[in-house]
Amino acid sequence: MNLRIAWQVLKKDLRLGPRSPILLWAIVFPLVGTFVVQIVFGSLFAPQPRLGIVDEGGSQVAAEMAAVEGIDLRLLDEESALTQLVRDNDLDAGLVLPAGFDEQIRAGEQPPLQFFVGGESLASNRLILAVTTLDAVRSVEGTTAPVEVELVASGEPVLPMSSRMMPLLVLFALLIAGVFVPAFSIVQERESGTMTALLVSPARGVDVLAAKAMMGLVLAFLMTLVTLWLNDALGTQPAALLLAVLVGALMLAEIGLLFGSGAKDSKTLFALMKSVNILLFAPVIFYIFPDWPQWIAQIFPTYWIINPIFEVAIQDAGVADVIGQLAVALVICLALVPFVVLLSRRMTQQVVAAA
Amino acid sequence: MNAARRAAIVRAIVAKDLREFSRDRLWMVLTPLMLVFYVGILWLLPSTVDESIDVGVYARGLGGPVGEALASDAISAEQGIDVVLFDDAEALAAAVIEGTEVEVDGQKRSVAVGIAFPDDLAATLAAGAPATVTVYVDAAVPAEIQTAMTAFVREATYGLAGIGLPVSQAEAELIVVGEDRVGAQISPQERMTPLIAVMVLLVESMALAGLVAVEIQSRTAKAVVASPASVGDLLSAKGLTGTLLAFSQAGLVLLLVGAFGYEPLLLVVALLIGSIMTAGFGMLAGSAGRDFMTTIFISMVFIIPMAVPAVAALFPGAASGWVQLLPTYGFIETIVGVTAYGQGWSDSVGYLLMSSVWCVAIFGAGWFILRRRVEAL
């Protein structure tokens, strides 16, 4: 491989890169992905019980419920609006607190509790909301509970969904920048005939592919760090993070070379991506569902780059904690090299033959 | 030229396009593989909803209505709580803290919450002395469940101490609004099915866009219309190819996940409208006639907003007003209605009409723009 020629090809790609829509995607994705995953999907898998309250008299019950952790509370002005939201399953339950409700409670008049639940609300959410509401009413009543409740917590808390979605975002950033950019760039060069032009120059196939891989690696490295930064997940171990992201970018750039040199045209590349990408993405599903058998995720090669990044960025692991996993990732990268060489030779032969 | 001759020409162009796809061995291998993956993902998702909280209870010292209810199995999972009774407080603590499984009715059960009422609770309360109830929780248990369990314990002991409810007829006032789906909730698998079907449709719009773009770039479209085929024949053939590709694959996915069990004709109509619409998108994106990457990029501009109604269907509640205005909303709602809610023609006719109008508009726009592009070649 001639580094000087590879550098010239890379410079050309960097100069022409901004004209490519895929480069735009690679740069825009961290912003779009962060928004979609954190705002839209964040509440999909761990929905909190949702309660709507119409408080007609400034009841203390509403204030008590607002202070309860883990309940999504919405205050409304009209009972009809509340009923509609409950009916549409925009809320799990609704509570109407008429004027003077607190005074009636304190006077021991036992006013009726206007509490209604949505047909599609989960039974557990109904129970949580009902029993918590009743507890809030008790606190307004001022009665001392007959017992003290001692809460004994054990084990590790489950990470919030926003953290568990992080591997998905990181892999997207790595995939678009590390795989899509070099793969599409190679195929475009083949289809537009510029690959033939390059190969009749002193550049060899390996120089061109090295330049493409370098572009994917640098872009994937940077965009992964941007994604982590946007999600406030840079962790506390910068050296470990940079190392883990670098290995991740390396593996994905190598996969990009495999895709790009293996596909004879854009259509084939598209077919390759829409199917093989499911395998690349498989490990991230296991972070979203921690109850699933986690060993399955280890079958997939991308687990060995995503997990170290996850552990460093989210769980503050150091280099020593992830070095074993990164070593496995590097072994996978090494194992892919012969395939890259084989496919690149085949591609060069095809381009030369076509010329 | 008569209609039969026109149909033969369109059929020949469609056959040529499909042959082109079928000659691509990788496409032929990977496309079914992708469908298998999609179906696999759907089958992996839970097909039921666990809507109860598994609670271990040691309640030897608990009398009163709650104690009796626990002892008689009167509290069921449909009330949001699935009680596992323990004979030993230490075993209960171990089950929560160490995650030890216990055997109940021949089944291995685990509990994330444990409530241990002291043995002398009734006597202590009767004497007016202070008592403590221990609630064991796994730290992974959400905060709202921890709060609710604490409140549940307090409420149980109010009854035991003879203190009545602060409100009247709480049970009678508990009104269920809408169809009560406790025990029959929409499972994640059912929620995801429309999204997968719609994604297959939209991804196939990219395949058509790519095909159209290549024909414009290489000017084969011009060559075709120089033959006895007219521009109209070419456009009909492209629309038909796109519709066939999208419809067959999305239909196959729905078939493999068993979605055609209820109102199959309604589902077929909804899919067909969706397929024609996505073929329209493919014609629009492909008419730019640029390289594959640009075509994909243009397609993504359509696909992302068009997938929003399917994503919105994953979430509880009605979709926002702007989502309902999107062209794909109607046929997606029909698929959701049939596959998840068991709705029929009368519930879906409005959505289908809305979708049909959009379908005509989008396919018409695709036809018009692509026609101008081909004629300008």
Determine the pLDDT at residue A47. Answer: 65
User: Would strands A93-97 and A50-55 be described as parallel, antiparallel, or unpaired?
Assistant: parallel
Residue A230 has pLDDT above 90, yes or no: no
- In sequence order, what are the residues at sequence separation of 6 or more whose Cβ sits closer than 8 angstroms to the Cβ of residue B330? B273, B350, B351, B352, B353, B354, B355, B356, B358
* Residue B135, phi then psi, degrees to nearest 5: -115, 115
Determine the residue among B173, B212, B293, B341 to mutate to test chain A binding: the one whose Cβ has the most chain A Cβ atoms within 10 Å. Answer: B293
B230 at A interface, C-beta within 8 A = no
CA–CA–CA angle B123, B125, B128 (5° rounding)? 115
In contact, A258 and A181? CB cutoff 8 Å: no
For chain A, say whether B24 makes contact (Cβ under 8 Å).
Answer: yes
Buried b (16+ CB within 10 A) or exposed e, A36-66: bbbeebebbeeebbbbbbbbeeebbbbebbe
Inter-chain CB proximity B145 and A134 less than 8 Å:
no
Say whether pLDDT at A122 is over 50: yes
Q: Which residue, among A159, A161, A163, A177, has the nearest Cα to A313 in the 3D structure?
A: A163
B353 vs chain A: nearest CA distance in angstroms? Answer: 22
Of residues A320 and B322, more confidence is placed in A320
Query: Which value, to the nearest 10 degrees, does the dihedral of the CA atoms of residues A63, A67, A69, A73 take?
Result: 30
What length is written for chain A? 355
Q: Is the dihedral of CA A302, A267, A22, B368 positive or negative?
A: negative
Residues of A within 8 A of B19 (CB-CB) are: none
* Whole-Å CA distances, A130 to A9, A72, A135, B167, B175: 67, 14, 9, 12, 12
Instruction: State whether residue B308 sits within 8 Å of chain A by CB.
Output: no
Tokens 């809320």 map to which residue? A91
Q: Report yes or no: B293 and A21 within 8 Å, Cβ to Cβ.
A: yes
> A306 pLDDT exceeds 90?
yes
Closest CA to B242 of B5, B58, B17: B17
How far is it, in rounded angstroms, from Cα B71 to Cα B86?
Answer: 11
- The set of residues, in sequence order, having a beta carbon less than 8 Å from that of B183 and lying 6+ positions away, is A123, B51, B78
* pTM, 2 dp: 0.69
CA-nearest of A232, A225, A237 to A160 is: A232
Residue partners of B56: CB distance under 8 A and separation at least 6: B83, B84, B85, B86, B92, B95, B96, B102, B111, B113, B114, B115, B136
Three-state DSSP state, B141: coil
Answer yes or no: are the C-beta atoms of A51 and A65 closer than 8 Å.
yes
Question: Which runs of consecutive H residues, i.e. helices, occur in chain B?
Answer: 3-23, 25-44, 64-71, 89-97, 121-126, 143-160, 188-217, 220-226, 231-256, 264-286, 292-312, 321-324, 329-341, 345-375
Residue of B nearest to A103 (CA): B166
Do the chains contact at B53 and A49, CB–CB below 8 Å? Answer: no
User: Which chain A residues are within 8 Å of B297, Cβ to Cβ?
Assistant: 21-22, 24-25
Contact B178/A at CB under 8 A: yes
Chain A to chain B Cβ contacts (< 8 Å): 276
State how far the Cα of B274 lies from the Cα of B331, in Å rounded to an integer. 6
Chain A touched by B164 (CB under 8 Å)? yes
pLDDT tens series, chain B, 377 aa: 677 888 888 898 899 888 887 776 666 776 787 788 788 878 877 788 777 888 888 888 676 666 666 666 656 656 777 888 888 888 888 888 887 777 777 778 888 889 998 888 888 888 888 888 999 988 878 888 888 899 988 888 887 777 888 887 655 446 787 777 777 778 878 888 888 888 888 888 888 888 888 888 878 887 877 778 788 888 899 999 999 999 999 999 999 888 888 899 999 999 999 999 999 999 998 887 677 767 877 887 888 888 888 888 877 777 777 888 899 999 999 998 998 888 899 999 999 999 999 999 999 999 999 999 888 87
Distance from CA of A121 to the nearest CA of B (A): 7
Is the CB of A155 inside 8 Å of chain B's CB atoms?
yes
Q: Can you tell me the distance from the alpha carbon of B90 to that of A19, in angstroms, rounded to the nearest whole number?
A: 68
- The reported pLDDT for the residue numbered A246 is 96
- Touching check for B180 and chain A: CB below 8 Å? yes
Which residues are registered as beta bridge partners of B95? none
A163 vs A303: which has the higher pLDDT:
A303
What is the gyration radius of the CA atoms in chain A, in angstroms?
A: 28
Distance between CA atoms of residues B150 and B152, nearest Å: 5
Residue B65 confidence (pLDDT)? 66
Check: CB of residue B155 under 8 Å from CB of residue A131: yes
Could you tell me which residues are beta bridge partners of residue B83? B55
Residue that has been written with the tokens 């496995």 in this structure: A328
Q: Enumerate the residues of chain A whose CB falls inside 8 A of the CB of residue B26.
A: 263, 268, 271-272
Residues whose CB is less than 8 angstroms from the CB of residue B46 and which lie 6 or more positions away in sequence, other chains included: B187, B188, B189
Strands B107-109 and B53-58: unpaired
Nearest to A116 among B152, B174, B291 (CB): B174
* H/E stretch holding A346: helix A319-354
Enumerate the residues of chain B whose CB falls inside 8 A of the CB of residue A144: none
Q: Is the ipTM of this complex over 0.95?
A: no
pLDDT at residue number B172: 47
Q: What are the pLDDT digits (tens) for A200-220?
A: 777 777 888 888 999 999 999
How far is the CA of B76 from the CAs of A124, B69, B83, B148, in angstroms? 11, 10, 8, 17
Of B53, B158, B314, the CB nearest to A146: B158
Query: At residue B54, what are phi and psi to the nearest 5 degrees?
Result: -80, 115
Q: What is the pLDDT of residue B207?
A: 82
Whether A236 and chain B come into contact, CB under 8 Å, resolves to: no
- B26: nearest CB among A22, A158, A272: A272
- Coil, helix or strand for B46? coil
Residue A47 contacts B, CB cutoff 8 Å = yes
Other CB atoms within 10 A of residue A289 CB: 15
Residue of B6, B10, B8 whose CA lies nearest to B240: B10
pLDDT higher than 60, residue A226:
yes
Structure tokens at A314: 């989210």
Q: Could you tell me what percent of chain A has a pLDDT over 70?
A: 92
Question: Which residues of A, range 328-347, sit inside 8 Å of B by Cβ?
Answer: none
CB of B34 within 8 Å of a chain A CB? The answer is yes
Task: Kindly state whether B129 is in contact with chain A, defined as any CB-CB distance less than 8 angstroms.
Answer: no
For A234-279, what is each residue's pLDDT tens digit?
889 999 999 999 999 999 999 999 999 988 887 788 778 877 887 8
H or E stretch including B115? Answer: strand B113-116
Q: Which residues of A, range 242-301, sit inside 8 Å of B by Cβ?
A: 263, 265-272, 274-276, 278-279
- Please choose, from the candidates A250, A262, A252, A255, the residue with its C-alpha nearest in 3D space to the C-alpha of residue A344: A262
- 3-class DSSP state for residue A55? strand
